Each structure stands twice: as C-alpha cells, then as structure tokens.
Copies of this chain bind each other. A is one copy, B any other.
Amino acid sequence: MIMKIAVLPGDGIGPEIIAQARRVLDVLKSDGLKIELEEAPIGGAGYDAYGQPYPEVTQKLAREADAVLLGAVGGPQYDNLDRPLRPERGLLAIRKDLNLFANLRPAILYPELANASTLKPEVVSGLDIMIVRELTGDIYFGQPRGIRVNDKGEREGFNTMLYSESEIRRIAHVAFGIAQKRQKKLCSVDKANVLETTEFWKEIFIDVAKEYPDVELSHMYVDNAAMQLVRNPKQFDVMVTGNIFGDILSDEASMLTGSIGMLPSASLDANNKGLYEPSHGSAPDIAGKNLANPLATILSTAMMLRYTFGQEEAAVRIENAVKTVLKQGYRTGDIFEEGCEKVSCSGMGDAVVAAL
C-alpha cells in the first residue's frame, strides 16, 4: 500500500513545524514505509498564491490523498480580508469538503513537563483525556445565518445550531468506539436543560449506548464540564460533544497541561481518512525564527499512522522517540525550564530523528 499524504504547511510557524514532521516521515520511508508526500497551500498561503484560502489545487490534492498533514493557518496580515477569504475559512472548508466530522483531541500531560501546567501537580499528574468533538455540524455550518434587519427595523445577528439524527449517531459511534479502547468511560457534554438541539443529542446518545454495554455513558452540562475540567480533570476518560462546545472545552482541556505545543489532533471521516494538525495555532510572533515546537506536529503524524493507515507500530515508534527526547532534556522555548537543554525547532527535529 502506498500512503498518499497531502502536506499543507499553511501560515506562520506552519512551514517550519511541517518541515520537521517531514523529516520524521522520511526516516520511516527510508525504513521501508511507502509514503508519498505532496504539498499545497492553505489559509493565508492559499490566498497569497491563488486568492483563495482553500484553492482548487489544494482541494484536488486533499481529495485524492489518503490523509492530510496540516501546519497552521492565520496571521495578522490577513485580518482585514473579507470573511470568505480569511485563512480560517480554508480550515472550515477543508473539514466540510472532506467530511471530517470526528475531531480527536487528546489532552495528555507528559510527566517530564508536569511543571508547565498552571494547575497543581496532584490535580493534573497522569492526565490523559480524549476529547471527541463533532466537526462538520452545529452552529458552525447551520443555516440560516447572517446579519439582517428584523421586523422592528433593527439590525440583528443570527446563527442556527443544528444536529440531525444521523450526524449525532455517527459521532456517537466514533466516541463509544474510542472509549472501548480506553477506560470505557464516556462523558457526553450538552446543555439539555436549555437547548433542544442538545436535548436531542442526549436522547440519541442514550440510544446508541445500548450497542456498547461495556462503556459507561454519563452526561454533563457544558457549564459544569468547564468547571469540572478545572476542579478535577482526571475524572474524565473520553469526553464527547458538539462542534462549538468542543471548540471551547478542548482548548480549555489542552491548556490544563500547560504544554499545548505538545498536543496533536486528528479529524476523521467515516472511512478513517483524516486531517492531522497540531492543536496550537500559527504563532505569527515567532514565525520564521526556528523557535517553534514541532512535537505536536510530529505527534500528529503518529496519529495519522495509527488512525488512517493502521500502522500502530510506526505510530508508537514516533511517540516513543518524542518521549525519549523529553527524557533527554531537549526543550523548545515554550516548554523550557531550568536544567534542560534549549533547542530550536530544527534542533528538536534533529533530536527526534536521532531517537528514531
């Protein structure tokens, strides 16, 4: 099998972190994996090259590939573009275009980086949460939407939160499947006391749960979930929720670790085709300075090998190499602490390649 990977470096630190991830893939390639990589622009880079954040060349490449590896999108130079041309539109468009409805965002605390957290060690040590966020529905894409003049002649902004039964069922199956492979605890987050959309969500989850008797399903209101992540995050194994609540809670959860530069993500379709990207953003302030942390992107390639290509062994090999470099004391600026060795983005790439 040839693994066709579309590589979309994007903006800001995107190109530098992607370059290090490519070096990792090159090692696996030279060790026998059949990997084919091709690059195209997305986000601001897409706009610069073709006037569109998700240009046709990129669409074509992404559709034909088995998996997509993405750096990051966005930058201040694009802030004043019209809404449909902005970098993040490229991200939303590729998610929808490829039907990547299941976003997996692990929040893992690496023991070596425990100090980076703003939370007390006893609260976060050993933290390992998987957040499953629905990614192609909800108020992100719901119609109607816009800014209009209402009956009273007043302007108003409006959006539609919306989930159909099939959309909820398919994300539920993904979430239950993941919980089965972990601690078998699934917490579905909703606001069923106020929003009918999520009342319906909860109903469908309770129904799907019948097919997974080995998984313990619980329900939590989103406001309480935001509290519980701070109060006692280790109570969670897998958390599943809709697009907008997932956007908020997955960022909150990742920040509990204090080292968001370490956190990968996967966005999957129904056939495990996926887009893989670091959870952090494009960090325009340090772009081009060889300072960025490439580990989240490198760990994203591990997720890719696991989820899209079923190459568990190669995935674990990458993850172990990352653990090794942390043990060896290599740190980029974002996770640096006294007594460790500060390395550049490419220096971290060197260390990972060596550890492989």
Contact with B along A226-249 (1 / 0, CB 8 A): 111111100000000000110111
A200 touches B165 (CB 8 A): no
Within the complex, the shortest CB–CB distance from A124 to chain B, in Å, comes to 8
Chain B residues in 8 Å Cβ range of A159? 160-162, 195-197
Q: Which of B83, B244, B252 contacts A252 (CB 8 A)?
A: B252
Interface locus among A25-33, A37-45, A149-157 = A149-157
Question: Smallest CB-CB separation from A121: which chain B residue?
Answer: B120
A226/B199 in contact, CB under 8 A: no
Q: A92-B194, A158-B196, A160-B161 are in contact. Are A230 and B201 (CB under 8 A)?
A: no
Q: With A139-B195, A164-B156 in contact, is A249–B226 under 8 Å at CB?
A: yes
Tell me if A306 counts as interface (CB < 8 A to partner B). Answer: no
**Contact residues in B for A223 (Cβ distance below 8 Å):** 247-248, 250-251
Contact of A198 (CB < 8 Å), options: B88, B155, B157: B157
A182 at interface by CB-CB < 8 Å: no
Residues of B within 8 A of A193 (CB): 86, 88
Q: Inside 8 A of A88's CB, which chain B residues have their CB?
A: 193-194
Taken together as a complex, chains A and B put the C-alpha atoms of A252 and B225 apart, in Å, by: 8
Interface residues of A in 69-119 (CB under 8 A from B): 83, 86, 88, 92, 118-119
A224 interface contact, C-beta 8 A: yes
Total count of chain A residues near the partner, CB < 8 A = 62
Complex partner residue of A196 from B145, B152, B195, CB under 8 angstroms: B145
Structural contact, A230 and B252, CB atoms closer than 8 A: yes
Q: Give the distance to chain B from A76, nearest Cβ to Cβ, in Å.
A: 13
In contact, B231 and A158 (Cβ under 8 angstroms): no
Knowing A119-B120, A227-B251, the reply to whether A157 touches B162 (Cβ < 8 A) is: yes
- Complex CA distance for A119 and B256, rounded to whole angstroms: 10
- Residues of the B chain whose Cβ atoms lie less than 8 Å from the Cβ of A286: none
Contacts of A200 in B (CB 8 A): 147, 155-157
Q: What distance in Å separates the Cβ of A191 from its nearest Cβ neighbour in chain B? A: 7
Q: State the Cβ distance, A115 to closest chain B Cβ, in Å.
A: 10
Contact between chains at B139 and A161 (CB < 8 Å): yes
Assess A247 versus B231: contact at CB under 8 Å? Given A197-B157, A252-B252.
Answer: no
Name the 10 nearest CB pairs between A and B, nearest first.
Answer: A157-B200, A157-B197, A226-B252, A227-B255, A156-B164, A223-B251, A230-B255, A159-B161, A118-B123, A158-B162
